[in-house]
Amino acid sequence: MKTYCRFVSAVALLSLVACNSKQVECFPTKNGEDDFWGVVELNGKELLSNEFENRIVGINDGVLLTQDEYGMFQFYLAEKNPRPIGGEFVSAGDFCDGIAPVVKEGEWIKFIDKKGQIVFELKEIDNKQVDWISNFHFGIAIYRLEDDTYGLIDTKGKVLVKPQKESIHFCMTKTGIVKDGLLMVYYEDSYILINSKDFINGDKNKALNKFEYNKSEIYFFDHSEYYCTSTEKELQVVNKGKVLLTVPKDSKVQHIYDIMEEHLLFVSSDNKCGVMNIRGNVLIRPKYQLLGFMGKECLICSTNSKKFKVIDIDDEVINDEIPMLVGFLYLNDGISCFIEQGEETPKCYFVNEKGKSINKKTYCDIDFRPRNELTSDGILSNYFYPSKIIKQLNIRENGIGYISVDSPMSTFLEVSEKFGGEHEPEDYLYRKTMEFYDRVDDQHIEYVASFREVLAKYYEDYGASWTYCDLDHLIAQFYLDKELIQKGELIFNAIYEYYASKCTFKYKGTKNAIFRLKDSKDVILLYDKDENAIKFVFLTYEMPDEIVLNIDMMDL
């Protein structure tokens, strides 16, 4: 169980990452260290007790989401006798408006209803694979295609915004609450805040705010429609594009970290917390080390992290009999969670806005992890296009990626510089190979260019001119990481088919193949299961037949 030592850095409620502005009032709990997971309502009433061995990682729209030790997800209806929905998934999002995005092994993204039935599939848009989809929030979801373009769809699968190169993001608080109707759209040198309806209608000129990178930022709050913008010199409290308050950054105010109703919690330059109102009047001077909302008019505070009390907005004590806490989180409707450090395990319980326990129940664990810690608020497709790898690696008949068997020395020098090298031609005078590395879709690629002996012709001005070298052969290794480890054979076969359609002669062994291209150059293809790598060897000459016939014996 994570301990919380600062109130000003509120931890997200997993169950508050909802698909609408109404916050869910159920939380995953464990009564004892060896117990299974259950569900408790905000008022302390247990909906389920000691029910699930697997951790409950999401509760939304009347559906629980669990995850086992192998990372597999399973839905259950949140009722007294929970029923499973739709089988197991390698990835799953939250239910919203009766549907949820799911992915099974080796498949693309689909959406299911609460009966586990497929509502619609999301494999391609504009003939490009959908790589990622967010959860639905307020009736829309963000998709990302294989070429890193973004757009929006509705809960029927209808495309609302066609693919565009600018990335789109929901506006979220630090604790994972999605703000209704607001989107952030990121361009090359700036980003904008805009209502989703205006963005869908193509009215980008109606953006509420525009920001330049590294010069300003924007952040949102769980329990307020107001948001803050911050520059080097000032803070602004804004509502729907209208500035309500401007505060200079000085010794008195450095950061506004929470807002509820008309009251703002802020931090001074010496790390002390205080309260001001929306008109900028300081109600409680910055003197507390810890300060957080317990409700609209109540706050919990401490000057030394050892003694805690509940005060009102006028700094009058309401309850000074608060035990020493290691964590605190305001939930909703005047209900909070206190976390005491027990002798063996933490002691968690719910309290009202005055710090009084709302029932006699305590728990050893209440799961307050943000939902987006688990899935980054979206899920990835597990469907694999071998042709996509060929395209991304830029596999050609006589080379891969940046270089080919026909590349002159100047090309190698350009490539070397691209990958951080600062080499001169003479650096390769007595070298036989040159190596550089790249990543494609987070997959590691190693290129090894092997030269014939490089000959240099000297002129009177030493180093003024060098002859280009010819490649003897070029080797590239594509390492299979993560999910691609299980797809090595698919990739090997896809590349084999690619070259088989372009060659005059071919031979295929169990995990090796050779092709004679139309220009009488040969390509060797190897699938090394031990190293989890696909290897290519491009030759500038035709291989002897005896080597071709013994390709399965080759060790390159």
What integer pLDDT is reported at residue 299 of this predicted model? 96
For 158, residues 6+ apart whose C-beta sits below 8 A from its C-beta are none
Strand arrangement, sheet containing 190-195: 167-172, 178-186, 190-195, 209-212
Cα–Cα distance, 54 to 277 (Å, whole number):
45
More confident residue, 34 or 172: 172
Asked if 222 and 22 touch (Cβ cutoff 8 Å), the reply is no
Alpha-carbon torsion 187, 190, 196, 202, what sign?
A: negative
For 462, residues 6+ apart whose C-beta sits below 8 A from its C-beta are none
pLDDT, one tens digit per residue, over 264-299 is 999 999 999 999 999 999 999 999 999 999 998 899
The full length of the chain comes to 556
More confident residue, 346 or 117: 117
Cα–Cα distance, 203 to 474 (Å, whole number):
51
Cα–Cα distance, 446 to 463 (Å, whole number):
30
More confident residue, 373 or 215: 215
Average pLDDT, the chain: 80
In terms of Cβ atoms closer than 10 Å to its own Cβ (0-12, 13-18, 19+), residue 522 is buried
> Longest C-alpha distance within the chain, in Å?
94
Parallel/antiparallel/unpaired status of strands 227-231 and 234-239 = antiparallel
What integer pLDDT is reported at residue 468 of this predicted model? 45
pLDDT, one tens digit per residue, over 214-247 is 888 899 998 999 999 999 999 999 998 899 999 9
Q: pLDDT tier at 496 (50, 70, 90 boundaries)?
A: confident
Q: pLDDT tier at 6 (50, 70, 90 boundaries)?
A: very low
User: Does the pLDDT of residue 481 top 80, yes or no?
Assistant: no
More confident residue, 511 or 437: 511
Asked if 521 and 538 touch (Cβ cutoff 8 Å), the reply is yes
Q: What is the 3-state secondary structure (H, E, C) of 104-130?
A: CCCCCEEEECCCCCEEEEECEECCEEE
Q: pLDDT tier at 396 (50, 70, 90 boundaries)?
A: confident
Cα–Cα distance, 547 to 539 (Å, whole number):
13
Six-digit token string for 186: 């990121």
Q: pLDDT tier at 477 (50, 70, 90 boundaries)?
A: confident
Q: pLDDT tier at 469 (50, 70, 90 boundaries)?
A: very low
Six-digit token string for 284: 């409680």
What integer pLDDT is reported at residue 471 of this predicted model? 57
Alpha-carbon torsion 394, 395, 400, 405, what sign?
A: negative
Residue 9 CB neighbours (<10 A):
11
- Kindly state the DSSP code that residue 16 receives in the 8-state scheme: G
What integer pLDDT is reported at residue 2 of this predicted model? 32
What integer pLDDT is reported at residue 365 of this predicted model? 80
Residue 387 CB neighbours (<10 A):
12
User: Does the pLDDT of residue 540 top 70, yes or no?
Assistant: no
User: Does the pLDDT of residue 310 top 90, yes or no?
Assistant: yes
Q: pLDDT tier at 206 (50, 70, 90 boundaries)?
A: very high
Cα–Cα distance, 433 to 309 (Å, whole number):
70
More confident residue, 367 or 443: 367
Enumerate the H helices of 394-487 as residue ranges: 409-418
> Mean pLDDT throughout 23-50?
78
Cα–Cα distance, 73 to 229 (Å, whole number):
38
Q: Which of 199, 263, 272 is nearest to 237 (CA)?
A: 263
Q: Which of 258, 271, 496, 367 is nearest to 39 (CA)?
A: 367
More confident residue, 509 or 325: 325
More confident residue, 203 or 396: 203
Asked if 328 and 338 touch (Cβ cutoff 8 Å), the reply is yes
pLDDT, one tens digit per residue, over 330-350 is 888 888 989 988 777 888 889
Report the share of the chain in percent with pLDDT over 70. 79
Q: pLDDT tier at 327 (50, 70, 90 boundaries)?
A: confident
Report the share of the chain in percent with pLDDT over 90. 37
Parallel/antiparallel/unpaired status of strands 167-172 and 159-164 = unpaired
Residue 368 CB neighbours (<10 A):
24
What integer pLDDT is reported at residue 374 of this predicted model? 41
Give the range among 82-96, 280-294, 521-535 with minimum mean pLDDT: 521-535
What integer pLDDT is reported at residue 476 of this predicted model? 76
Asked if 14 and 23 touch (Cβ cutoff 8 Å), the reply is no
In terms of Cβ atoms closer than 10 Å to its own Cβ (0-12, 13-18, 19+), residue 482 is exposed
Give the range among 49-53, 143-147, 443-447 with minimum mean pLDDT: 443-447
What integer pLDDT is reported at residue 437 of this predicted model? 65
Q: Which of 98, 135, 136, 103 is nearest to 115 (CA)?
A: 98
For residue 5, give Cα distances in angstroms to 290, 324, 347, 373.
9, 11, 15, 20
Looking at 173-226, which runs of residues are DSSP E strands? Answer: 178-186, 190-195, 209-212, 216-220
Asked if 106 and 114 touch (Cβ cutoff 8 Å), the reply is no
Asked if 103 and 380 touch (Cβ cutoff 8 Å), the reply is yes
User: Does the pLDDT of residue 390 top 90, yes or no?
Assistant: no
SS3 (DSSP) at 426: helix
Cα–Cα distance, 268 to 427 (Å, whole number):
56
What integer pLDDT is reported at residue 249 of this predicted model? 92
